[in-house]
């Protein structure tokens, strides 16, 4: 096996890595945002429940949750390793993303919400048109951090046998006995994915920045 075959074998796992990330991150964002809105605007009981949710899922190692979901919970239904892994990571990420969105909502809310209500906007209109657009901008830097974590954590699904980058590196490393090259290749691919994503989000942050004089 020549070098380019070696590398492309590992790199073809990128499809799975990106796939897992593209399921876990957006589903985590969707749930995280809904939960954060409930946390901030849903009253005391909702806030308590959300706090509990966040505490539990941030307190369990993602790999343990992965095993619970794949080997125990979904035993009856036919959930593939790929989907079980992606969804577990999505659940863990939703807890972190909830905290990110919650922080952003809280730092915009208060006065801006009051000003919007004073104009005559309903609570929902005020949250949608005044609080959320500003909160999104505040959330991008911490969110880009979370995106990097999810990309890296996607490597955990290798434990379920999903043939993503790390799994392939392990397989080809073992068969060729070239462990260093195999894992270094995996490391470089992960790094490029994280680096590229962070760059794109920084560009987005700059593009969405609200103009102001220095």
Span near other proteins by CB under 8 A; candidates 60-68, 128-136, 165-173, 192-200:
128-136
Residue 203: other Cβ atoms inside 10 A:
10
Report in angstroms how near the CB of residue 128 gets to other proteins at its nearest: 9
Q: Which is nearer to other proteins, 11 or 132 (CB)?
A: 132
- Which tokens belong to 28? 């985590």
Q: Candidates 43, 59, 76, 120: give the one binding other proteins (CB under 8 A).
A: 120
Q: Candidates 63, 117, 142, 181: give the one binding other proteins (CB under 8 A).
A: 117
Q: How many Å apart are CA 170 and CA 174, to the nearest integer?
A: 6
Q: Which residues, including other chains, have CB under 8 Å from residue 119's CB and lie 6 or more apart?
A: none
Q: Helix or strand or coil: residue 12?
A: coil
Report in angstroms how near the CB of residue 37 gets to other proteins at its nearest: 18
Does 125 help bind other proteins (rule: CB under 8 A)? Answer: yes
Does 43 help bind other proteins (rule: CB under 8 A)? Answer: no
CB-side neighbour CA atoms (13 Å) of 48: 3
The greatest distance separating any two alpha carbons of the chain, rounded to the nearest whole angstrom, comes to 71
Q: Which is nearer to other proteins, 40 or 126 (CB)?
A: 126
Residue 177: other Cβ atoms inside 10 A:
8
Report in angstroms how near the CB of residue 123 gets to other proteins at its nearest: 9
Span near other proteins by CB under 8 A; candidates 14-22, 24-32, 111-119, 147-155:
111-119
């Amino acid at each position: 096996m020549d070098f380019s075959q070696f590398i492309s074998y590992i790199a073809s796992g990128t499809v799975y890595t990106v796939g897992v990330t593209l399921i876990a991150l957006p589903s985590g964002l969707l749930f995280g945002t809904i939960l954060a809105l409930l946390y901030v605007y849903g009253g005391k009981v909702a806030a308590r429940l959300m706090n509990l949710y966040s505490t539990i899922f941030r307190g369990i190692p993602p790999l343990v949750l992965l095993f619970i979901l794949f080997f125990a919970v979904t035993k009856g239904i036919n959930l593939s390793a790929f989907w079980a892994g992606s969804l577990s990571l999505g659940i863990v990420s939703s807890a972190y993303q909830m905290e990110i969105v919650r922080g952003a909502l809280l730092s915009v809310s208060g006065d801006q919400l009051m000003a919007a209500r004073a104009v005559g906007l309903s609570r929902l209109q005020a949250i949608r048109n005044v609080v959320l657009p500003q909160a999104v901008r505040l959330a991008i830097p911490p969110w880009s951090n979370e995106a990097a974590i999810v990309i890296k954590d996607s490597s955990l699904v290798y434990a379920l046998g999903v043939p993503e980058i790390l799994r392939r590196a392990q397989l080809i490393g073992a068969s060729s006995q070239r462990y260093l090259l195999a894992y270094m290749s995996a490391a470089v691919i992960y790094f490029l994915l994280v680096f590229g994503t962070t760059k794109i989000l920084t560009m987005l942050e700059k593009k969405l920045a609200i103009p102001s004089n220095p």
